[in-house]
A and B are shown apart, each in its own frame.
Chain A
């Protein structure tokens, strides 16, 4: 990394070497971006805020999944179901027992984390496709249990309505208010994930990903760290699920489908595995592209008048899929890699060698 730093930027202490932000310019950009982000509700529409809230919740789930997949080299095709656990924990605690937000949030995170550990147990013996099949089972088991085990408690197929979150007397019942709840939590979760991968735990994850046998020989407790990775991943999913329940104010099993789990994995791949920045890029890219396609779809019949309107409108998902395929062909290492290439070329400018 150091070789690519701009001229005159060097470390003179270990603290500087460990710092996430190294230069004054980076601090200015960070503070500027935060000011811009946090003042967004002042000049933006409610729909844009809804999109930002939605992206932030998805981002938390994707970052958690990236810790498991990108850093620890494990697979989970049940992330959406674990979001469901978080959402339903919140729903049950808030709907039936009237618990407040500050209580339901950690409970949701913890519940999803603990159940995630149970489904992570097979990871000691199996990996790759076999592990993905085991985690795929979690998607079906969890959602079937939510729907059927105790419909009185979970609302069965109809689901539960969730009251607006409250902190003290302040009720978060609009998109701008939810924005100020969701965005700071997202920033905290990203900061937490960024740090976790720089600690001994993060290095253990990477060692397991690169070669679990070698990691074991070096003294890394593979079983412990694999389960820890599942726990952290699902804590993130639990937090995302809790926020989702409060944003939607109504939850039912159809909000946490296998397709959603697949898309969460897709965001990790598109952003770049093993990169927190990649998770951010991947989430924004997929959600942004989806939004773009939905916006332009009603105008397609005018562009292709030879075809029937209904048939042309159905092309929306096709456009979405084609763009993704083209993207993956040209940038299989994800957007994070493209970002690194851009930064490197920028730092070396005007000497491009």
Chain B
């Protein structure tokens, strides 16, 4: 009996010790960062899909972020305070992303500014970000979380706006009649273009939408959907997917012999060299899509030149991630500097950063221009691009995309 009690006591004490050691001091969810004197670092909390379906696009994110921080910290960071990265892999799983957000929220210092790439995660966190006093920049704007304007900002135009821009271009430059079909991913991101605003805009432009088809993000063949689209007489197909998805669409079209008969386009994330051109190869030749991104071939742009040098030194790859990361953190540094100038370190909070963000007007991020307002938390700048000889070539200069936000928020 005595030995049993000793065993039990040891086990009980061990369990208590384990829980106490795991537990941090009680914290209340902070809505504002108060009494922050100059911190030792600005910690940037990043949730990334390194091992899931978005991994191809996120490739290089950690290396490029660390490189960006090296560059910015060498220039004094934010008012002498260096940037520091803390990240978590989500594997593309929404629940893991939410868990990562909850983890970041309880860290010291708590996050003020984050970058959330996946649309479903943005959708799930839209109200929590407001409650927790955190602003998030996203690389994909879906109207359902961008409107009404909350704490999320997109440095790309929303998917309906981009689709609207494509419609403007196709009507202005291509033979008529335009019979358009949507072939998009069955997700928050993919379905972002299936809105009444987009359908009405097509009607306004004289474009007939003949089909709306969806497919799974991991599906490797869309011949069934393309057969139906072909039967309905479509001569253009537009997809709100990533470059690897567009490669699957083009390969399926080739199998059906539809490549010459139907023309293909998609949102800005289809037009990527390291996914679309790498995976579709010669099938991507002639592919057109609207994009907010500058290209690696535009070496006359100082930012592109700088990035090429840094990639060479860091042994990185010319991916969209490397292209955008430094530009994003240059902008974030400017936001922090502006906010600190306005309210000081002590009163630095999400509201101060929001005020700075909403002042950005054709701000040159290096890889794109950025305009944000209190009413429109999404970028407006976009241009048409085409794949030629395995490279992405701009067909025109940046223009303002049509505003296809829900009518009540225009």
Contacts and interface: CB of A to CB of B under 8 A. Distances in A.
Nearest to A244: B95
A174 B28 contact: yes
A291 B128 CA distance: 22
Interface string A289-319: 0110010011000000000111001101100
A50 B99 contact: yes
Contact of A250 (B24, B26, B99, B126): B126
Contacts of A331: none
B19 interface: yes
B87 A44 contact: no
Contacts of A317: 51, 91
B29 interface: yes
Interface in A5-64: 6, 25, 29, 32, 36, 40-48, 50-51, 54
Given A41-B26, A310-B50, A46 B19 contact: no
A121 interface: no
Given A32-B12, A161-B127, A44 B19 contact: yes
A100 B403 CA distance: 38
Nearest to A155: B144
B23 A43 contact: yes
B20 A25 contact: no
5 contacts: A158-B142, A252-B94, A290-B96, A316-B51, A316-B91
Contacts of A51: 99
A43 B19 CA distance: 9
What are the nearest 5 A-B pairs in CB distance? A44-B23, A45-B24, A158-B144, A157-B191, A47-B106
A161 B62 contact: no
Contacts of B59: 310
Given A157-B187, A158-B144, 19 more contacts: A44-B22, A44-B23, A45-B25, A46-B29, A46-B102, A46-B105, A47-B106, A158-B145, A158-B188, A173-B131, A249-B127, A249-B128, A250-B123, A254-B188, A255-B94, A298-B86, A309-B63, A314-B50, A314-B55
B311 interface: no
B265 to A, nearest CB: 21
Contact of A252 (B16, B93, B120): B120
Interface in A77-101: none
Contacts of A42: 26
Contact of B8 (A25, A161, A260): A25
A346 interface: yes
A6 B94 CA distance: 48
B26 A43 contact: yes
A59 to B, nearest CB: 15
Nearest to B28: A174
Interface in B14-52: 15-16, 19-20, 22-29, 50-51
Interface of B: 3-4, 7-8, 12, 15-16, 19-20, 22-29, 50-51, 55, 59-63, 86-89, 91, 93-96, 98-100, 102-103, 105-106, 120, 123-128, 131, 142, 144-145, 186-188, 190-191
Contacts of A54: 95, 99
A255 B22 CA distance: 28
A23 to B, nearest CB: 11
A106 interface: no
A159 interface: yes
A157 B102 contact: no
Contacts of B186: 147, 157
Nearest to B100: A294
A244 to B, nearest CB: 9
Contacts of B3: 349-350
